[in-house]
Each structure stands twice: as structure tokens, then as C-alpha cells.
Amino acid sequence: MCGRHRAYFLRKLKAWKEDIVEESRATMAQLQVDSFREPDLADRASSETDWGLELRTRDRQRKLIAKIDSAIRRLYEGEYGYCEVTGEPISLGRLEARPIATMTLEAQERHERVERVSRDD
């Protein structure tokens, strides 16, 4: 991966992280403004369900931020774009689709097959 590619993925990862952080801030601000004191029980239940889903989404995004930070660290250390299993380069197409990828497509598929088999046992 050339320096131009590394700079591109660094910008992409940082922008992705900033978008997630901004969405989280907006969610927290909205939670502080909104009230769960709906007079109708059905409306209150619906609101609580919606916010529960939103908070679970934010939790998944918090975990995604950790993966983005890890990818940025790998970029600075020169390890970004290489499979953590095989050491082979990860295709630019895969990195474009999934910038936090740590394995080649083939290694990821093998990993998922093994995981599926062990889960079935």
C-alpha cells in the first residue's frame, strides 16, 4: 500500500469515527430533552422501545469506534492492510468496503466457517 492509499484510509477512518461520535452526541442530547412521561401507556412503551433500540445501536457503534481506533493505530504502525492471520495484503476493494478489516476475504470466510462449526457443537 502506497502513502497515498494510507492517507486516504486515514482520512476515511477519521471521518467515519467523527460521524459516529457526532451521532452519539446528538442521541445523548435528545435523550436529555425528551421525556418518557407520555400519558398513554402504549405511547410510553413505544417510546421506551425506540430509545432502547437507539441505545443498543450506540453501544454497537461504541465498539466500532474501538475497531476504528485499532485500524488507525495499525496505519501508523505500518500494519494496516495486511491480514493478521496470513500476513498477505488485504485487497483495496475489501478495505474500501470494510476499512476496519483485519483479514483477507478468504481468511475471514475460513474463520467464520470454523466459528460456525464450533458453535454448532
Mean pLDDT of 112-121: 80
Average pLDDT for the chain: 88
**pLDDT at site 96:** 96
**pLDDT at site 105:** 94
Query: What DSSP line would sit under 62-114, residue for residue?
Result: HHHHHHHHHHHHHHHHT-TTB-TTT-PBPPHHHHHH-TT--S-HHHHHHHHHH
**pLDDT band (50, 70, 90) for residue 37:** low
Which of 101, 70, 84 is closest to 92 using CA atoms?
Answer: 101
Q: In angstroms, what CA-CA distances link 104 with 61, 90, 94?
A: 23, 5, 8
Q: How many domains does the chain have?
A: 1
Residue 19 sits in which domain range?
3-120
How far is the C-alpha of 116 from the C-alpha of 120, rounded, in Å? 6
- The domain that holds 48 is classified in CATH as 1.20.120.910
**pLDDT band (50, 70, 90) for residue 6:** very high
Q: How many CA atoms lie within 13 A of 121 on its CB side?
A: 6
Name the DSSP class of 98. -
